[in-house]
Amino acid sequence: MAILNTLLFYRTGKDITGQVFRSHNLGKSPSFFFHWLLLPTPPILHSASQHFYSKVGMEEIAETEDFTWSRETVPRVLLLVSSRLSQGDLFSLLLVNPWIYRTLVSASSLWEVLNFRERKNAGNRLIAALSLPRYRNVKQINLEFAQDVDDTHLTILKTKCSDSLKGLDSLNLNGCQKISDEGVEAVTSCCPQLKTFSIYWNVRLTDAGLRHLVKNCKGIVHLNISGCKNISDQSLEFIADNYSELESLNLTRCVKLTDSGLKQLLQKCLSLQSLNLYALSSFTDKVYKKMSLLVHLKLLDLCGAQNLSDEGLSSISKCKNLITLNLTWCVRVTDEGVISVARSCTSIESLSLFGITGVTDKSLETLSKSGSNKITTLDVNGCIGIKNRSREKLLQLFPNLKCFKVHS
Amino acid sequence: MASSSKTITVVSSDGDEFEMTMKAAEQSKLITHMLDEFGVSDKVPLYNVNSETMAKVMEYCKKHADHEAAKEEDGGAAIGAGGEEELKKWDDEFLKVENGLLFNIILAANYLEIKSLLDSSCQAVADMIKGKTPEQIREIFNIKNDFTPEEEAKLRSENEWAFQED
């Protein structure tokens, strides 16, 4: 009877009464052993069986404890802990035991991001990763400054891993300078749901690449083509015609762009909240005046806009929701323009007037009166027209000022 | 406030009863919901938590309830700036228990929906895992490796891309 009981116990984790020895009874609770001792033993074999019992039974109990600990308790707890672990630590956990492996692999939220930032051999690694079922719901891929990624890798992804990319939401190819229009076509053809696409500092990208993007990914909301010097107005047309929901756009140093292309954009991408035109000096007031169409604009970077006049800036000031405005080196601007911004953009928190010699203390006084407690960043370095611009004086005007430098 | 002097009784899976103040009980979202359903006079059964773990959870809830009460009094003067740090130190000491109990605390905090306890206990385990190899993790938590050599080799080769040194 006792032996039968012990065997049952070993096989099922339950004794003859059907009571399950649960994970929390890890031999620490005295009632656990007491219960075991109460199991009936045949009187004749009493002493012998007790000896046998105590040897075999203890091992069985230890086995069951192990079983529950390794196969139930630990995986359950590690699942709860998993969201706090780095990918590297998660990989180590996968190799600990099959139960942890299974539990973690089925938690799809753990496997939504593939980050190869600055890693070597990134193209091959990405292909290897996407061949694993646990990444079939990947949402974000980061290859920023990754090495050894080129068009051939992206083409392989298209042939072998397109299923896994179906749900991709965000793709970062910043600094992947070996990728060209062909690679962009290949990878974007696999991710129709893409919302965020970033490929800065890539001089191989041309308007053809943008054409592929707008054809394949209809729902882009955040686009960064900063430093893609070969992009022309044609790309802005593609963007304008296809991305009416676009919220942020970075065109830093895309020096081929002209008024004509930007105008199209301003007329059609009315959801824009962030527009970066850093180091684009060929635009003129003609197009700056259209900026007022962007009623939702919160961030505008016009660093280097040497043609921007007070008239243009007055139009821009109609974007009442502006929070960040960079007017570094906008050398034609004077008090008139800045005062129109001060009066109209009452939510401004960050402003750079770096290098603008035509602004005076009058601008700062007006700014201070209209919204002084909101401003936390103000750069007036090189503004030789402003007499009172020591730190102390600035803090008097803008008590919440924390940062005195925007342009480096 | 009259309600803060009331106590409730919770029952562990081992059948032991534990008393806690309403304020301590409010630390647990689950208990709070159960009280709304069953009312205060009844005993709240918590069959997923054994007595050893329950005792620790009670200790935690009481400490945090007392801390909150002290904050409310004096508008926070009683606690002062060091108060939050002190509580954190107490939490760290509180969690210095052997792994079996720590894991049970995590499961209990999850079941009882005590967010702050879940956060700190999970973080404690995460810190133990950080940077460790699979072998080291097995040793720390006394886990058997029941991969067959073939399974293990397959997994390692499939995931080689993740472990590659740069």
- Which alpha helices (DSSP H) does A332-384 contain, by range? 335-344, 361-371
ipTM (interface predicted TM) = 0.91
Residue B154 main-chain phi, psi, to 5 deg: -60, -45
Task: Quickly tell me which residue has 């000096």 as its tokens.
Answer: A281
Instruction: Look at A91 and B155 and tell me if their CB atoms are within 8 Å.
Output: no
d(CA B85, CA B82): 5
Whether A70 contacts chain B with CB within 8 A? yes
| Mean pLDDT calculated for residue range A11-26 | 36
Question: Would you state the structure tokens that stand for residue B140, as one six-digit string?
Answer: 């720390």
Residues 101-160 of A with CB under 8 A from B: 101, 119-121, 124-125, 128-129, 132
In contact, A323 and A351? CB cutoff 8 Å: no
Once rounded to an integer, what is the mean pLDDT over residues A109-136?
Answer: 95
Strands (E), A53-124: 113-115
- As a whole number, mean pLDDT of residues B137-142 equals 95
CB of B161 within 8 Å of a chain A CB? The answer is yes
The more confidently predicted of residues A283 and A14 is A283
Give the integer Cα–Cα distance in Å for A270 and A291. Answer: 10
Taking an 8 Å cut-off on Cβ atoms, the answer to whether B126 and A119 are in contact is no
Of residues A32 and A236, the one with the higher pLDDT is A236
Per-residue pLDDT band at B166 (split at 50, 70, 90): low
- Residue A49 reports pLDDT greater than 50: no
Tokens of A222: 């955040």
**Model confidence band, residue B37 (pLDDT cutoffs 50, 70, 90):** confident
pTM to 2 decimal places? 0.82
Question: Which segments of A243-303 does DSSP mark as H helices, in order?
Answer: 259-268, 285-288
Q: pLDDT per residue over A148-170, tens digit each?
A: 999 999 999 999 999 999 999 99
What CA dihedral angle connects A51, A53, A59 and A62, to 10 degrees? -120
Residues 49-68 in A contacting B (C-alpha not used; CB under 8 Å):
66
B134 and A95 in contact by Cβ < 8 A? yes
**What pLDDT is stored for residue B1 in this prediction?**
42
Distance from CA of A92 to the nearest CA of B (A): 5
A42 touches B at CB < 8 Å? no
A29 has a chain B CB within 8 A of its CB: yes
Q: How confident is the model at residue B71 (pLDDT cuts 50, 70, 90)?
A: confident
Say how far apart CA A255 and CA A232 lie, in whole Å: 8
How far, in Å, CA of A340 to CA of A337, rounded? 5
Determine which helix (DSSP H) or strand (DSSP E) holds B35, and give its type and residue range: helix B29-38
B70 touches chain A (CB under 8 A): no
Tracing tokens 């499939």 back to the chain, one arrives at B158
Residue A202 and residue A228 in contact, taking contact as beta carbons nearer than 8 Å = yes
Q: What are the tens digits of pLDDT across the range A370-407?
A: 976 799 999 999 999 999 999 999 999 999 999 999 98
